[in-house]
Structure 1
Amino acid sequence: MDLNYGINGSIAVEAARPVIVDSKTPLGFVVPLGSLDEMRVFKNPTEFRAFVEEKGGTPDSLAYKTANAVMLQGVSTKIVVRFVPDNDAVKDSVLAALDDIRLAPQRDDILTRPNIIAVPEYSYDVDVAAKMDSVAAKLKATAVVDVNAPNETAALDFARNFGSRFLLLYAGRSKAEGKLYPTSALIAGLIAYWDAGGDNGYDEFGYARSHSNRIVKGVSGSERPIEYFDGEDCEARRMRQSGIGAIVQDVGWRSYGFETTDIDYVWQSLERVRTFYRWLDAIIEANKWARDRSADQLVWVKKTCSEFFRKLTGAKIALGYEIYLDQYRSDVTAGKFTFVLKTANMPPIRELNFQLTFSDDWNEAFIEWINSI
């Protein structure tokens, strides 16, 4: 008799795995600074600014303004910076440097995947912005582009070059600390700040919310006045309808716009784009254990996803969900299985209308009241 005499034990798992969405928002910048030609990762914007000062960057330098713009938003997040030489070939250097940003997650001295990418000032160039779009798509990130156009017409003409869910266009330079700052750096810091919860403290689901109508800290004006009126046709509204946001004066200086230029209306909502890609990454990560395991473990894959979406629905981040194994895209013999995860994110209020109507319905009651006195 073939027995393992004695007392034996084994360990097994029959449980759903936690799906953990990464709520951190690392930033990635390409900026010129002296003769520097290197990439570094900083723990926070304070460390970034201190390095710039150490290398001779003054408060008027673009690198200093970029670091300080993030600091002004009060966020503490990792920042990947590709410094390029400040010379006549800076555009070519910027284009090449964006390839390094693309490889940042794999470089053993960086190992960080930027979620927001910006090339302050130099992104107002179709070639640079198009390259940023390509890099952002690869990283499933958002590239914030400066639209430093002299007027509305030029801004709209620039925006027509793009139709991407990975770009966020923002108009004009902004005044901060008495100087003109690149708006892309301010908005990058703003997004990272509110992803972490912003003024409300820690928010596990900050990434799932629109960051339009947020105070942009430190901003006291804009280089070019942008017309903005509630309830009326105006420049800010027209630009937003074309996928260009702006920092406008409305009870403080606020972000106005969080839309992409994607041709599909579904993916024009940037918070939806960012939310779905984060959810997908988290779901894949949580279920990596199931690769090459016995197919009966799909039960736990499904339960893992179900518990995740139940949590999102309960937190009012998702409207609901449905999960099923697609029989038409699965091949049991080949070991190929496709789960369909249907859901919808909680949308923000983008348009709120009030109709104030005059009515004489109460005239008779008024007369009766007067006569009763």
Structure 2
Amino acid sequence: MDLNYGINGSFSIAAARPITISSSTPVGMVVSADISELGMKKFNNADEALSFIKTNNITKGTFKSTVTGISLQSVNCPLVVVIVAYNEEDDTVKTDILAGISELKKSDPLTGINLANGIIIAPEYSSDTEVAAKLESVAKALFATGISDNFSDDEAGVKAFVGNISSKYMLVGHGRYRADGMLIPFSPLMAGVIAYYDANSTYGWAQNHSNRVVSGVAGCERVVEYLDGSDCEARRLRQSGVAMILKDVGWRTYGFETTDIDPIWQSLDRVRTFHRLLAAILEANKYARDREADQLIWVKKSIVEFMNELKGNGVIIGFDVFFDNEKNTKATVTAGKFYLTIKIQDMPSIRELNIELVYSDDWSDALINYINGDE
């Protein structure tokens, strides 16, 4: 017999767990360099990577221009870098680049940096459709955002390239840009912009990063026609899911849309918001796995409080959290399987603002009265 003499006490929890989301966005990249020390490396930030480049006297390949493009955005984010041997023959290095992109999936156990919800790039080389396709595949596996490059000479070439990509995990960018004495592809510049503005505020990762100033850019390799309020090449390319950097009160990003066939997921800010919210919710509620079913009360309560916080900060417009009676049957309850549904509507960004200027003669009488000296 178990006898408990004296005064006995214990403690338990009857409270909602906090759900938090990191604003730091890691960047994974596959680059080439004239160095013998190849493979995966991690750097705390781009400036640390630039010091590594200087120390090792790296002058060829895409490593330096890639890290420079990110560093110019003054962002302090972790980098996972897979370095392959530089070779002037693109066909030779392409095999290593493809293999390097696959290696990014191992970043967490090898470097301690999880690229989930991060950004992955392979500057210059991602202008090859096969490399871009591999980038998309790994981005999908990681729930990351892949940014590919395109350097076509005309609008038709850009559209032909983007026609090969259909994914909510990809942002297709066009062009090279003059910055810091070199030509830097779109992808590292945009990666730096995204990482900077993600961390610029608590919910920066939920925002549209089009119309952001790109620090350091002073020109472009190919001019894309851009006209406010008129049909132009830039608008047509963006309609096809292509982003770029344009001169419009400074050099700014233009476009933040995916190439997904579903219009709902063509908004990259929505895709990134949903993935980051889902990851945070799953992480915060791991404690409930294999616990008693009454813990689901606190799982739901935690999520409701989290959603209220998001609504109060303008990340979402509204939400509903419930255990659907149609999905949660007697059989599923007996089996210990439960289905929690979370419906939300995110705060949309302004992608089109139509302002109409209308001539009216409604005030003609006031003019006549003024001319006649009437009060």
Q: TM-score, normalised by structure 1?
A: 0.96
Which among 307, 311, 331 is matched to residue 309 of structure 1? Answer: 307
Partner in structure 1 of residue 356 of structure 2? 355
Check the 8 A contact 2:121/2:147 in 1, yes or no: yes
Aligned-partner Cα distance in 2 for 1:221–1:244 = 19
Aligned-partner Cα distance in 1 for 2:222–2:250 = 16
Q: Secondary structure at the match of 1:105?
A: helix
Aligned-partner Cα distance in 2 for 1:53–1:128 = 28
1:233-248 aligned within 5 A: 233-248=231-246
Q: Secondary structure at the match of 2:280?
A: helix
Partner in structure 1 of residue 141 of structure 2? 138
Partner in structure 2 of residue 196 of structure 1? 199
Aligned-partner Cα distance in 1 for 2:369–2:66 = 69
Unaligned 5+ residue runs, structure 1?
198-202
* 1:71-127 CA-partner distances (Å, limit 9, x unpaired): 1000001000000011232100000111110121232x4443260011000000110
Partner in structure 1 of residue 84 of structure 2? 84
Code of the residue aligned with 2:364 in structure 1: it is N
Check the 8 A contact 2:155/2:237 in 1, yes or no: yes
1:3 shift after superposition:
2.5
Q: Secondary structure at the match of 2:334?
A: coil
Check the 8 A contact 1:40/1:110 in 2, yes or no: no
1:355 shift after superposition:
0.5
1:24 shift after superposition:
1.0
1:364 shift after superposition:
2.1
Partner in structure 2 of residue 113 of structure 1? 115
* 1:246-301 CA-partner distances (Å, limit 9, x unpaired): 10000000000000000010100000000000000000011100001110111000
Aligned-partner Cα distance in 2 for 1:55–1:339 = 53
Partner in structure 2 of residue 200 of structure 1? none
Aligned-partner Cα distance in 2 for 1:27–1:57 = 20
The reply on whether 1:217 has 2:208 as its aligned counterpart is: no
The reply on whether 1:12 has 2:43 as its aligned counterpart is: no
Partner in structure 2 of residue 38 of structure 1? 39
1:2 shift after superposition:
4.5
Check the 8 A contact 1:145/1:169 in 2, yes or no: yes
Aligned-partner Cα distance in 1 for 2:181–2:100 = 30
Q: Secondary structure at the match of 1:106?
A: helix
Partner in structure 2 of residue 63 of structure 1? 63
Code of the residue aligned with 2:5 in structure 1: it is Y
The reply on whether 1:168 has 2:171 as its aligned counterpart is: yes
Q: Secondary structure at the match of 1:282?
A: helix
Aligned-partner Cα distance in 2 for 1:40–1:52 = 12
Q: Secondary structure at the match of 2:318?
A: strand
1:61 shift after superposition:
4.4
* 1:8-59 CA-partner distances (Å, limit 9, x unpaired): 111211111011112110000100011442100101101111112222213x
Code of the residue aligned with 1:370 in structure 2: it is I
Partner in structure 2 of residue 297 of structure 1? 295
- Same amino acid, percent of matched pairs: 48
Q: Secondary structure at the match of 1:239?
A: helix
The reply on whether 1:227 has 2:225 as its aligned counterpart is: yes
* 1:198-245 CA-partner distances (Å, limit 9, x unpaired): xxxxx1100000000000000001000011111001111100000001
Unaligned 5+ residue runs, structure 2?
none
Q: Secondary structure at the match of 2:359?
A: coil
Partner in structure 2 of residue 334 of structure 1? 335
Moved more, 61-70 or 333-342: 61-70
| CA RMSD of superposed structures (Å) | 1.2
Aligned residues: 366
Aligned-partner Cα distance in 2 for 1:148–1:338 = 47
Aligned-partner Cα distance in 2 for 1:161–1:2 = 71
Code of the residue aligned with 1:11 in structure 2: it is F
Check the 8 A contact 1:18/1:286 in 2, yes or no: yes
Q: Secondary structure at the match of 1:258?
A: coil
